[in-house]
């Protein structure tokens, strides 16, 4: 099995402080990686460096292409959920999902299935009127709209109740069975099956 | 890619429509400036007519500055800009889409308001079409410049984008005013229009690529 992503000797410096150095790991299909660290340890920065949203000091990122060769640039679509959930307050729940960029045409049925799966029933409600937890469910519903090879989720379990936490754990397991991988960050280990890195 | 472009257009236009201040504020500002000049200068038709090109152009330029900061700021704050960069789609296309949307929201209403302004300021009838043509080219260029100013001032004070853009908008102001003044005097204005067209044609690839670089600077 070829890893979709290989990280070799990755280092990052911010304001003359080394956040992490010489990190090595692989993300295999259907397997998860959990990055554990305290506040300010560089968890979010690591995700952003991998996705090209932040600069790395040194190291190599290798992405698998369709010919099973490795490129230094990403060749497939990934899902990224940061602290800011990319949710538009002036769009309804339904519209926020409908206007997500996916590789194939989004049908009403698919959107409603995703919303039902995450327990959101008020699809015509403006996202700005929802609670933090409900807005997070919108972002989780996006996970189901396309076939992403890797999901990069920054602190997926923060600000969630037990029910929502179980929902995410079950979803991750389902998507793992379909071959998708999750790279998530957190302050402490979660209940999902994952390799762990401490930074 | 077409689907992605349609998504951005629909999303941003829908949001702009629901946040009416985005398009109403520049419009109201423009109309206020236009109506205050006759109040301040008096109803002297000849005086207003001679000053009309400059007044309309200054009002349009300042009005378009008001909303420049919003071109990327919302997307930056809520994380949507991250998803654009991750999406594997060309970022310069995103910039061009944002510029087009900004023009549709602010430039196009200004064109309509300029028709009213030309009546209020007694602009000669033969200057009306050149005014509209110059405003189409000029406001488009202003939206383009605005995207660069907005990307350079992302996450910082809103006034910064205006300060960055203002000096570079002077050629647009000079050419735009020259078009309308020439038309009012019965002179050939095509040369000035061509210069404005050339500025826009060169600006589209150059400024959009500079804007992409400026956006990426925010991620380093």
Which residues are paired to A26 by β-bridges? A6
* Rounded average pLDDT over A90-94: 95
The upper half-sphere exposure of residue A198, i.e. CA atoms within 13 Å in the direction of its Cβ, equals 3
Nearest to B199 by CA among B119, B115, B136, B120: B136
What is the value of ipTM here, to two decimals? 0.86
* Rounded average pLDDT over B105-119: 93
* Rounded average pLDDT over B202-207: 96
* Rounded average pLDDT over A61-88: 87
> Is the per-residue pLDDT at B175 higher than 90?
yes
Nearest to B195 by CA among B220, B213, B178, B182: B178
* Rounded average pLDDT over A80-89: 91
CB atoms closer than 10 angstroms to residue A157: 19
> Is the per-residue pLDDT at A83 higher than 90?
no
Q: What is the predicted pLDDT for the residue at B11?
A: 92
Interface residue A113 vs chain B (CB under 8 A): no
Q: What is the predicted pLDDT for the residue at B219?
A: 74
Please answer yes or no on whether B15 and A82 come within 8 Å at the CB atom: no
* Rounded average pLDDT over A45-68: 88
Residues of chain B in contact with residue A100, where contact means CB-CB under 8 angstroms, are 7
CB atoms closer than 10 angstroms to residue B114: 23
The string of pLDDT tens digits covering residues A108-144 is 999 999 999 999 988 999 999 999 889 999 999 999 9
Q: What is the predicted pLDDT for the residue at A84?
A: 87
Which residues are paired to A6 by β-bridges? A26, A62
* Rounded average pLDDT over B210-215: 93
Residues B80/B12, Cβ–Cβ less than 8 Å: no
β-pairing, A58-64 vs A70-71, is antiparallel
Q: What is the predicted pLDDT for the residue at B22?
A: 83
β-pairing, A5-14 vs A58-64, is antiparallel
Strand A33-36: give its sheet, edge to edge. A78-81, A150-153, A181-186, A33-36, A195-198
Nearest to B146 by CA among B56, B69, B218, B217: B69
Residues B176/B196, Cβ–Cβ less than 8 Å: yes
Q: Which token pair is B162?
A: 């205006």
Residues B147/B213, Cβ–Cβ less than 8 Å: no
**pLDDT band at B2; cut points 50, 70, 90:** confident
CB atoms closer than 10 angstroms to residue A89: 16
CA-atom Rg of chain A in angstroms: 17
Nearest to A4 by CA among A139, A176, A173: A176
Q: Which of B4, B83, B219 sits opposite A86 (nearest CB)?
A: B83
Ordered by where they begin, the domains of chain A are 5-198 (3.40.50.300)
Dihedral Cα B147, B149, B152, B155, nearest 10 deg: -90
CA-CA distance, B114 to B102, in Å (whole number)? 17
Residues of chain B in contact with residue A83, where contact means CB-CB under 8 angstroms, are 79
* Rounded average pLDDT over B164-191: 94
pTM for the full predicted model: 0.89
> Is the per-residue pLDDT at A103 higher than 80?
no
> Is the per-residue pLDDT at B34 higher than 80?
yes
CB atoms closer than 10 angstroms to residue B137: 24
> Is the per-residue pLDDT at A53 higher than 80?
yes
- B55 three-class SS: helix
In order of A31, A176, A188, the CA distances from A181 in angstroms are 5, 6, 19
Interface residue A15 vs chain B (CB under 8 A): no
Please answer yes or no on whether A91 and B15 come within 8 Å at the CB atom: yes
Interface residue A178 vs chain B (CB under 8 A): no
CA-CA distance, B21 to A80, in Å (whole number)? 31
Please answer yes or no on whether A90 and B89 come within 8 Å at the CB atom: no
CB atoms closer than 10 angstroms to residue A134: 17
Which residues are paired to A186 by β-bridges? A36
Interface residue A77 vs chain B (CB under 8 A): yes
CA-CA distance, A14 to A29, in Å (whole number)? 31
Q: What is the predicted pLDDT for the residue at B220?
A: 64
**If interface means Cβ-Cβ distance under 8 Å, which residues of chain B face chain A?**
3-4, 7, 10-11, 14-15, 18-19, 74, 77-80, 82-83, 85-89, 219-220
The string of pLDDT tens digits covering residues B124-170 is 999 999 999 999 999 999 999 999 999 998 888 778 888 888 999 99
């Amino acid at each position: 099995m070829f890893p979709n992503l290989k990280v070799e000797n990755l280092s990052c410096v911010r304001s003359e402080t080394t956040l992490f150095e010489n990190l090595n790991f692989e993300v295999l299909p259907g397997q998860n990686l959990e990055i554990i660290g305290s506040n300010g340890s560089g968890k979010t920065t690591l995700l952003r460096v991998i996705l090209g949203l932040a600069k790395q000091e040194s190291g190599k990122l290798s992405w698998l292409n369709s010919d099973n060769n490795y490129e230094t640039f990403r060749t497939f679509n990934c899902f990224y959920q940061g602290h800011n959930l990319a949710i538009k307050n002036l769009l309804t729940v339904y519209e926020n999902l409908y206007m997500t960029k996916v590789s194939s045409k989004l049908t009403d049925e698919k959107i409603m299935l995703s919303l039902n799966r995450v327990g959101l029933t008020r699809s015509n409600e403006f996202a700005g009127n929802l609670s933090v937890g409900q807005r997070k469910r919108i972002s989780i519903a996006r996970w189901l709209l396309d076939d992403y090879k890797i999901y990069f989720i920054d602190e997926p379990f923060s600000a969630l109740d037990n029910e929502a936490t179980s929902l995410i754990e079950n979803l991750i397991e389902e998507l793992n069975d379909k071959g998708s991988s999750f790279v998530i960050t957190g302050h402490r280990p979660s209940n999902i099956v994952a390799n762990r890195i401490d930074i | 890619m077409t689907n992605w472009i349609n998504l951005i257009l629909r999303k941003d236009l829908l949001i702009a429509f629901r946040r009416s201040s985005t398009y109403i504020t520049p419009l109201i500002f423009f109309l206020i400036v236009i109506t205050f000049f006759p109040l301040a200068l008096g109803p002297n038709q000849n005086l207003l007519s001679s000053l009309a090109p400059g007044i309309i152009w200054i009002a349009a330029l300042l009005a378009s500055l008001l909303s420049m900061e919003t071109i990327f700021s919302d997307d930056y704050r809520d994380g949507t800009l991250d998803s654009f960069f991750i999406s594997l789609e060309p970022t310069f296309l995103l910039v061009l889409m944002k510029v087009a949307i900004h023009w549709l929201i602010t430039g196009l209403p200004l064109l309509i308001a300029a028709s009213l302004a030309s009546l209020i300021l007694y602009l000669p009838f033969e200057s009306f079409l050149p005014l509209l043509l110059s405003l189409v080219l000029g406001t488009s260029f202003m939206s383009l410049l605005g995207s660069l100013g907005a990307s350079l001032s992302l996450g910082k004070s809103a006034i910064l984008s205006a300060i960055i853009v203002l000096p570079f908008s002077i050629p647009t102001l000079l050419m735009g005013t020259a078009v309308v003044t020439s038309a009012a005097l019965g002179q050939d204005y095509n040369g000035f229009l061509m210069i404005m067209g050339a500025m826009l044609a060169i600006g589209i690839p150059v400024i959009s690529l500079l804007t992409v670089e400026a956006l990426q600077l925010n991620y380093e």
